[in-house]
Copies of this chain bind each other. A is one copy, B any other.
Amino acid sequence: MRLTGLSAFPITPADPEGRVDLPALRRLVARLREAGVDSIGLLGSTGSYPYLTRDERRRALEAALDEVGDWAPVLVGVGALRTDEAVRLAQDARAAGAAAGLLAAVSYTPLTDDEVFAHVATVARESGLPLCLYDNPSTTHFRFGPELIGRLSRLPGIVAVKSPGQEPQAVAGHLAGLRTVVPPGFSLGYSGDWTTTEALIAGADAWYSVVAGLFPQVAVDIVRAVQRGDAAEARRLDARLAPLWTLFREHSSLRVMYACANLLDLCRAAPPRPILPLGEEAQGRVAEVIRALDLR
């Protein structure tokens, strides 16, 4: 399996006690199927994986896989603070039929490169699940450097890296730097929705997208424009979404996506506490942007 194109990361609607609302999750996943995204990133950071128990993560995965069927691979967050817990989550994911796991370097005590190497190697070896390295320093406070990515990319079962968004003028260099340290065919992808159009134009393999988890069509249109070589059209579609990117940067994409999903009546769910829903004024701005951009 090679991760390419658009990977859509939905929220995981749950009640205040952390029980996943499976019908609402199925509704979100069905939208992704209908829009034809290339893969689904279940239980990513936007899917609030670290806030859910192992049982709830398994319930969510099984429902999503059932809804998806065969039409697209599902990758699933298997990160955890403890190595043994991440192993169990990856084993669960493989048993359920996920195509790959997304493994972040979740930390409390700051970790060294050698510790993260051993953590990832153990999860890959003990689970047999193909893994995408999840480099998300804004949540884990660990940064995968090129040297570590190079070492890990040579382990059996490590197939991809999801890197954080880069500045437009830096992304081509970042991508070229990673290409020199990973084997051919290793997938290099990016998150940070407001930066990823330039990453795709620069030759990135995949866009790990928060907006696509709820509004897949606008993201599919950008990816397809890049794929047919129409960078100008991709940039035009991306520029049109600028008001949404402003909200993402200001309030985090997770909080904005919860507000959108509720405003669209796709679910009645708040983020897991201590994360709070957006206040009324911010929700008003979100509603305006949804209307102005005709998001649906």
A residues lining the B interface (CB < 8 Å): 16-18, 45, 48, 50-51, 81-84, 105-112, 114-116, 118-119, 122, 138-141, 252, 254, 271-276
Asked whether A16 lies within 8 Å of B84 as measured between CB atoms, the reply is: yes
Asked whether B254 lies within 8 Å of A84 as measured between CB atoms, the reply is: no
Residues of B near A84 (CB, < 8 A) are 16-18, 273
With beta carbons under 8 angstroms apart, the residue of B16, B105, B108, B271 that contacts A51 is: B108
- Which residue of chain B is the closest to A122 with respect to CB atoms? B273
With beta carbons under 8 angstroms apart, the residue of B111, B116, B275 that contacts A109 is: B275
Asked whether A119 lies within 8 Å of B271 as measured between CB atoms, the reply is: no
The 10 closest A-B pairs by CB, nearest first: A119-B274, A83-B273, A50-B108, A115-B274, A83-B274, A108-B139, A115-B276, A141-B141, A109-B275, A51-B82
Asked whether A109 lies within 8 Å of B141 as measured between CB atoms, the reply is: no
Residues of B near A17 (CB, < 8 A) are 84
Kindly name the residue among A51, A108, A111 whose own CB sees the greatest number of chain B CB atoms within 10 A.
A108
Asked whether B139 lies within 8 Å of A252 as measured between CB atoms, the reply is: no
Jot down 26 A-B pairs with beta carbons below 8 A, ordered by A.
A16-B84, A18-B84, A45-B109, A48-B109, A51-B82, A82-B272, A82-B274, A83-B273, A83-B274, A106-B108, A107-B274, A108-B139, A108-B140, A109-B139, A109-B271, A110-B138, A110-B139, A111-B274, A115-B274, A115-B275, A116-B274, A118-B273, A118-B274, A118-B276, A119-B273, A141-B141
